[in-house]
Structure 1
Amino acid sequence: MQLSDFSIHARSRVLRNVQIYCFVMLETEDFIGVVTLLLSTLTLVLVGLLWLRNMRKQRETDKGYGAQETGLARLEELLREQERVFRREMADDQKAMEQRLGDIQKQLAEDAGKLRTDMVERFESLRKTISEGLADGRLAQQRSLNELNESLQKVLHEGITGVGKDVNAVLVRNTEELGKRVERLTESTDKRLQEISSQVDKRLSKGFEKTTETFALVLTHLNRIDEAQKKITELSSNVVSLQEVLADKRSRGAFGEVQLNALVRNLMPEESFALQYQLKNDKRVDCMLFLPEPTGNIAVDAKFPLESFRRMTDLQLADSDRDKASSQFRQDIRKHIGDIADKYIIPGETSDGAVMFIPAEAVFAEIHAHYPDLVEEAYRRRVWLVSPTTMMAILTTARAVLKDAATREQVHIIQQHLGALSKDFGRFQERMDRLSQHIRQAHDDVDQVNTSARKITSRFEKIEKVELDEGLEPTAIPEVKAKV
């Protein structure tokens, strides 16, 4: 009986709670929750029935529980009764819920209709407001575009005008500056050319003057040579007296040196010769001529042996004595040629030849006329036999060589200046080329600026011709249908 009372009390509590929950869920329109709660309750009841059936089977096995079995049977019957009652109540509740759901559905349909009507009215009002705003915005946008177009045209026109003025001013300024630079460069080039021309003229004039002087001196010396040739006869007639004067070796050497010194000083510049010049081998030469390469320095000896020549030409001696004197004369000259070649021909210091000065024209003529072997010996040993007349010609030629060397040096300087002038002209050509390139580049830039200006003007003209479409209407907003 206690179990039965407990089950009745539990059933009533469960049903009471279920009714409360169902009422709350219906009020909150949670239909799914109501159905879920009912199914949960039914499941709970079925579980209780199964539990009681199991308890009954267990108690049937126990013999000492007969009274309890009777109670369990009654409890089972009560549960079945409660199940039937619960099913009836659930059916009633289901009908009430269906009725309630129908009422709620009707109410929702009425509310949806009202909401749809309200939304349509609101959308229509919003469409009208948007259409009016779009029309006003289109007009304001048209006015703004017109104002912007006018201001932009004005600004661009002013900008193009200013750019054109600036470009023209820059071009004029660059042209003026370029003209000034070209004028300055031309003036400096003309001045430089005039200076170089004046220097060349001066040096050429000096060279011509020196050449004229040289030719005048040559003519003068040739006249002197002619006079000397006239005096040869007189000298030949005075050979005997000269031999007597030159009998002494010291007097003979002094006479040759004095005659050589007179010739050299009269015909050669001071810096082109040296008297009693000491060589590297500690030998002293009577005269050293300093000539330009490839000739080089030439040693001149004036100590000629005349004793044998005096005896050879002495008519008072017998023929045998004069023959002996002739042989001795040949030996003396050959020895003197060898001494000059050994002493005064020094590689690296002097020329490859030396000069043996014969102070008498008669002796020079005698050697070339009757002693050809001595002439060949001298030629082989690179010793040049000269007389006062031929020495004069040699010195004149040497002086001309010196002047020609000086002239060549001046020509070399002129060539250097001409080379520098050629380089200056080359730099001038390069600068003129760069200048012409800059001028062409400036002309191309001006053409490009003009092209850009024409393009900008064309684009502005196209912008001015643009017309906005007046027939455009704002698009209507489609109606929204509420779905139930």
Structure 2
Amino acid sequence: MLDGMDQPLLAIGDRLVTLGEALLAGVGLVLLLLLAMLIVLLRPRRPSQEELLRRRDDEQRLADMARAQAEISRAQAELTGRMQTMAEVFGTRHADLARALTERLDGFGHRLGQSLEVQARATYDSLSKLNERLAVIDSAQKTITDLSRDVVGLHQILANKQTRGAFGQGRMEAIVQDGLPPGSYTFQATLSNGRRPDCVVRLPNAEAVLVIDAKFPLEAFGSYRDAQGTDERKAAAQRLRSDVLKHVSDIRERYFITGETQDLAIMFVPSESIYADLHEHFEDVVQKAHRERIIIVGPSMLMLSIQVMQSILRDARLREQAHLIHREVGLLSEDMRRLQERVVKLQQHFGQAGRDIEQILISTDKIIKRGAKIEELEFEDGTTDGSERGTGPRLLAGG
């Protein structure tokens, strides 16, 4: 209602007259007129003709004013009704606007809640994946730390000549022990010339043994890898060639004994990276070693060679056990023959039992037929007394 009183009613110049101001002005005007009439009526003078005329005019004016007041009241009532209608319309619109705003806020809150839930779930998944990756990174960091420790230990091992030889010997022994059966190899065996190779392998059908050497010159290779300048690297490469070829010559001179060892020996390199670099950058050294009947192998190639030797030993054992296998096959054939005889006898028993069952079925069939004939017999019922017929009931064969 108060909001309706502030609605502009008309404009006078630049000023807007509101409905409340207009009502206040009308009420003030009416009060002034009533005050003027009261003053006139209370004056104690004797009215003259002019005064009577004036009074009549005043009465007429009062009547006009009363009518005007009535019109104003009616207009005020109409204006009040309009204001109430406008207030109702404004209230309805305000309610609709509030309801629409509430619905929009509820929808926005629901969508915002869903968005926050989805975002929280995505954040949780991202954090879970991040934790998993951090766990993997931690594990990798631990692995790297362990590898660094192992590399440092390996470097310390390779820095010492004795431990370096023990390192290669240990790797070679592990590969041989994993691949060959006991008794087919010997570590640190003594040859007829007093030399003691790192390992000898006994091949089947051969008196000579195969020699495996694990004393690769790792010191020269370490110097080659640590070389910085071109000249230093060339000098280290030349030293590496010289040391490897010297070791090849030593193997041939020490371990090649006619009739006792094979004319082929294996030089074991305990590192795949060294073996790869040797084949990549020092192919001439590898070829010279081959011409001297020395095969340079890394851990993988030694495993493959041991597997080939294992297959050869297995085939030799199979050939050695061939006569035993032949005897077992003969015994198995004899057992099969006896089994066949027993099966034939069992078949004969089953045949006799079948014939007996057929005879039993024939007898059973005859018994059934005789029973059927007995069931077909019936007594004839006489129509007169037996004394009149001269005989009693008589048994008739049906059919």
- Compute the TM-score of the two structures, normalised by the length of structure 1: 0.36
Q: Which has the larger radius of gyration?
A: 1
- Compute the TM-score of the two structures, normalised by the length of structure 2: 0.43
